[in-house]
Structure 1
């Protein structure tokens, strides 16, 4: 009892301190009351992201229960407070997000083919997409009388093998080696398997000739395909692919060199139909309708011109979205444009962050899987940055129109454009580093020329050319369009050639990416001075990414391709590897040079079947051993080489008596882990698939017996 007053005193102080802290938080939230609703899509996104990150159903269920538990705990806070409502609503939204994507994956996803197999397949064509840059046609088919195959298969057919009458509804027969949709080749790579699962694609392959036509198509090609072919016929040279992409959203005719130049120069966003294109089209339609109706005195005096023009712009935006394939950036832009037009029709200021949040909620509700893709993340991050910057009082005051000379007005517009470009580049940098292992540096300056050129020259000229083609007079407009696009490509290649065009970094880990994104959102969505606390996690994530040790060894999921970091740069095991494999390995390693062959290194000893390499890293020497063929190797020699090696890497199953000192990487291990990245300095091994990963798009072949 002697200590009772002291205990009561301490408890009272703690309670008073908690009450004062809660009061300060409530006061801050009161000042930010208009911004609180912007976090609704973040709560939903947290649940969707948790489903993709957590490995299996028990962890997904545990997350939902934990979120509901947090909601219950939040409900115990004093009633009427904003913090209480935020915690309860955010936790419930997170639970809903996890259940939403889980339900869609269970009900609508297409499980992948279990293992690669050769088949004689008969299939009904569902869609045809030309890819002139690669000389192929991508065909989606529904297999006929093949219950062992997935319901939807995507097959590439070479242009030379394409039969007459290929189109929607056609019935074709051919031999093909079908494979499960490809997972990431190495940690941090592009996961086509996850995307294909939600698109309903269960297998992919390349058709072997001859491709036999059993029933030709009787359906006219869709408008998008006809427009794509029409533009390719009217425009010559590299510009044709850009022209087709601007009108249809199909980038299949863009040469890889041009596409890479657009990416390195920060102009790749021009190729994806998004806010710039939709806004330009809707704005042009509204402008033309307003000017046309204003020619009538009766219409100008008695008709609601803005309402009519907004309705016309909305119809144009919806039609353009449908024509270009309704990809996520286009849908987001169309939804945002419709909300803006609705706000303008009601006399409201609709260009706000609430508009962006509403568009994000709609997209996530119908396409929750889009959250993990770079398209969704980059498009919404860019728009959020632009609107947040435009809402800042100082920037708004600086950008506001005023009575000044032509030179002053031009300089102000230039400064505003440059500031917005730099803001977008900074916001997109962590997203680009996470997905592509590179980020643009000069994009803001390239866009000073590229955006006005595309918006006010290229797109109007292309629209004029298409209109004039109705009466057969579009040739001059097409020539002008081609010259403008050539200028755009010249700018892209010039900027991309600069060594300062991009920053390279090794794979950015999921935890670093997560805290960086949270920091960015904290900076963009709040308005008071506390927003700048978000710079701490942002800078932490970026600095840690650039300071992180890049991987020393990369192994693809099939074990055939290995890249090793040496004192002379990156070296690759099979020097005949294609450009795609080389690009994937270089980008994942944060390396921008050419890959040499391991066999050409002075510390390598290679034969046609085996290759041994000695590396010095982490204060010690490492002995690596690789297999290079499928030829049977004598047990005595191979067992001796295995025992002398620290790491053995092979694309086949290695026998048990092959016992390296540290790590044996063969087909059996890679079938469970996927591709690998290894840091010799720290001894860290990262895998594509985590232990117990049960996401439905991961193909799990049965055991296969293999002899060495």
Structure 2
């Protein structure tokens, strides 16, 4: 009947799905049998119609639930115990039982519960499998190990990662499996290469804890990377054994290709081209990296998924086009399948050559799914390969979820896939002229990708590149036409002595990208600081974006509501009023602002440089630490810096002169911070010394109501390596000390 058809279509539209004529009322009748003459009622079974319309897009939503389980594991303040894991196993079993026994639509919740619990369980398993010895003290002495990776540190020093190290006075059971050491001095005797066994003398310590509660946790990242110690050496490197045949061959090949590119393309352009092609960034200066970052072009250098996509698509098109140019062959073979068959192992080889970072792994899985679909005559241009790539990466390395590279890569890929599916009608049905299509696709991809990654870049790096869209529009074509394709052609033409032509074109592309990066980064207001968000902001934005992309029809607008809620939550994060660095050498005091929290003043222009930069960045403050130290808030000598906080008097003591004033400071001040281990202190002294701070990490004090709340950076998690509890000093202004 016409009325029933109208009711079925209207109901389906309200739920986010519109069935074709004759199909909608059949689904309604099948799922919700109603007395004759009555319109269907919206209930729980009605939601099943929305899920039916979303069939084919449920895999990305399942990926979101799996990732939520991983995020829950990382978000716990304390290490989960047996009860947590038993609860997760029970939840997974309950989900499977619901999927098996319950009727529609209740059964649809079962797989979601199981995926949520599975994410939690896999992360816990991974953490205990990768646990390895971590150095527990400051070490100085001989260091021996096999070079596995060569890169550059944030201070622009050459850095070695050593496997299977040997340290003096340390047995095999307490020696870390991997260490990373920066070469801060002149290397006079040997230039290290991957696979070689080398020896040097240097300083080592355990990886740094967060510079502030809730900040970037390098110790957690090092734990999952297997790094048990980091340090530096001002001494030369000695060669003990050359690389064995077949050992670290991919690393040596990377350096060989990089050296060849830099020999043909001189200067910073050659170093950039080598880094973009091979992942070897050891020749790129810090100034270039900062210019790329401030112009939102750092992803070009990071061997991101875009690089692998450019290389794979160019090779696929080159082989397919070459076969098409030979008519007698083209009529006898399937050019697409031959191109896919050759492009797949090449993509895997490039994955290994580039170092297999998270973004490249995700891009390789997607490219592999796409090429396999070509070989099997299937369609793969959808959200499914994106979700599949995410699943595989998180199953293998669940810690990737909390890394900015994975978050930005997945956000950009999901947004681009969903966005171009929405624009499919405009792009494929001749509504735009052919000459306009490439320009439109470039602008759309840059805009969609930039908007999708902006919240994650702002949250992790506390900055936003205002002209990033302009920089990407000007440089992405050069990357796709002059850098990656010319690199492939140079490799193919090298045996014939003709590689100089594509390498010359590659150099032009590299110089153009570096010119644009420097020009955009030098613009006034090119970078603005953004304060770190509330902990709820990114989860709400992520879930909202996933729902907006995956769910069909009007119901997807609920995702826009979640994104808006995340943006509203962003500025609600509390800013600490007083910060104490983990070594006791630096403090930050927040002044009063017109609208609440004011600027952060530092107690010293030097000392704890990483902590100072991190504190200011998390505030969205781009002021250099030396200038922040000139702000009002601290007074006195270098040995005793006085400050006032919430009506309390405090002092920062440093050096022998500060240590000599400890007894008087305990009697005069409400809070005493000592950048040393106190040998003896008066009873009931409100003292925070390095012995205590080594256990708690950096401390943050918050004004809360009429009292003061204290948070510590180190949490009792498997990667923290916290020593035994140390009695807290008597701090009467605190409601309670932090959790022990």
Name the SS for the 2:227 alignment partner. coil
Residues 198-213 of structure 1: pairs in structure 2 closer than 5 A: 198-209=224-235, 211-213=237-239
Superposition deviation, residue 248 in structure 1 = 1.0
Indicate yes or no: 2:341 matched with 1:311.
yes
Name the SS for the 1:238 alignment partner. helix
2:201 alignment partner, one of 162, 175, 181: 175
Deviations 1:526-554 (A, max 9, x none): 12211111222322222332354543433
Superposition deviation, residue 234 in structure 1 = 2.9
1:633 alignment partner, one of 639, 645, 660: 660
Alpha-carbon distance in 1 for matches of 2:223, 2:633: 44
Name the SS for the 1:402 alignment partner. coil
Residues 134-533 of structure 1: pairs in structure 2 closer than 5 A: 134-144=156-166, 146-147=170-171, 148-158=174-184, 160-161=186-187, 163-164=189-190, 166-168=192-194, 170-209=196-235, 211-217=237-243, 219=245, 222-392=252-422, 395-400=423-428, 402=430, 409-410=435-436, 413-475=438-500, 477-533=502-558
Deviations 1:231-279 (A, max 9, x none): 2333333223321221112333332222222222222211122222112
Name the SS for the 2:405 alignment partner. helix
Indicate the larger mover: 94-103 or 318-327.
94-103
Is the 8 Å Cα contact of residues 95 and 112 (structure 2) preserved in structure 1? no
Is the 8 Å Cα contact of residues 311 and 488 (structure 2) preserved in structure 1? no
Structure 2 unpaired stretches of 5+: 1-40, 593-597, 728-740
Distance 1:230 1:83, change over 3 A: farther
Alpha-carbon distance in 2 for matches of 1:625, 1:118: 32
Indicate yes or no: 2:689 matched with 1:672.
no
Name the SS for the 2:292 alignment partner. helix
Superposition deviation, residue 20 in structure 1 = 5.6
Superposition deviation, residue 156 in structure 1 = 2.5
| Counterpart residue number, 1:8 | none
Residues 602-681 of structure 1: pairs in structure 2 closer than 5 A: 604-614=634-644, 623-631=649-657, 632-643=659-670, 647-653=671-677, 657=682, 665-680=688-703
| Counterpart residue number, 1:68 | 90
Is the 8 Å Cα contact of residues 555 and 562 (structure 1) preserved in structure 2? yes
Is the 8 Å Cα contact of residues 569 and 595 (structure 1) preserved in structure 2? no
Alpha-carbon distance in 1 for matches of 2:459, 2:432: 44
Residues 12-161 of structure 1: pairs in structure 2 closer than 5 A: 21-56=43-78, 58-59=80-81, 61-62=83-84, 64-66=86-88, 68-69=90-91, 72=94, 75=97, 81=103, 83-121=105-143, 123-131=144-152, 134-144=156-166, 146-147=170-171, 148-158=174-184, 160-161=186-187
Superposition deviation, residue 129 in structure 1 = 0.9
Superposition deviation, residue 340 in structure 1 = 0.9
Distance 1:292 1:602, change over 3 A: closer
Alpha-carbon distance in 1 for matches of 2:717, 2:431: 63
Distance 1:624 1:311, change over 3 A: same
| Counterpart residue number, 2:589 | 564
Superposition deviation, residue 473 in structure 1 = 4.8
Superposition deviation, residue 386 in structure 1 = 0.5
TM-score for the superposition, normalised by structure 1: 0.85
Distance 1:248 1:549, change over 3 A: same
Distance 1:470 1:664, change over 3 A: farther
Name the SS for the 1:510 alignment partner. coil
2:614 alignment partner, one of 574, 584, 602: 584
Indicate the larger mover: 26-35 or 597-606.
597-606
Deviations 1:351-396 (A, max 9, x none): 100111111111122222212111111111110001111122xx22
Is the 8 Å Cα contact of residues 186 and 588 (structure 1) preserved in structure 2? no
Distance 1:294 1:588, change over 3 A: same
Is the 8 Å Cα contact of residues 158 and 282 (structure 2) preserved in structure 1? no
Structure 1 unpaired stretches of 5+: 1-18
Alpha-carbon distance in 2 for matches of 1:339, 1:472: 36
TM-score for the superposition, normalised by structure 2: 0.82
Deviations 1:466-509 (A, max 9, x none): 55554555445444433322221222233233454444332223
Name the SS for the 2:182 alignment partner. strand
Q: What's the Cα RMSD here?
A: 3.2
Alpha-carbon distance in 2 for matches of 1:542, 1:478: 45
Superposition deviation, residue 451 in structure 1 = 1.0
Name the SS for the 1:551 alignment partner. coil
Alpha-carbon distance in 1 for matches of 2:77, 2:572: 29
Deviations 1:283-322 (A, max 9, x none): 1112221222223333111111111011111122111111
Alpha-carbon distance in 2 for matches of 1:641, 1:347: 80
Is the 8 Å Cα contact of residues 261 and 503 (structure 2) preserved in structure 1? no
1:694 alignment partner, one of 706, 712, 717: 717
Distance 1:593 1:387, change over 3 A: same
Alpha-carbon distance in 2 for matches of 1:60, 1:675: 29
Distance 1:86 1:124, change over 3 A: same
Distance 1:555 1:539, change over 3 A: farther
Is the 8 Å Cα contact of residues 447 and 469 (structure 2) preserved in structure 1? yes
Is the 8 Å Cα contact of residues 235 and 479 (structure 1) preserved in structure 2? yes
Alpha-carbon distance in 1 for matches of 2:606, 2:79: 42
Is the 8 Å Cα contact of residues 437 and 508 (structure 1) preserved in structure 2? no
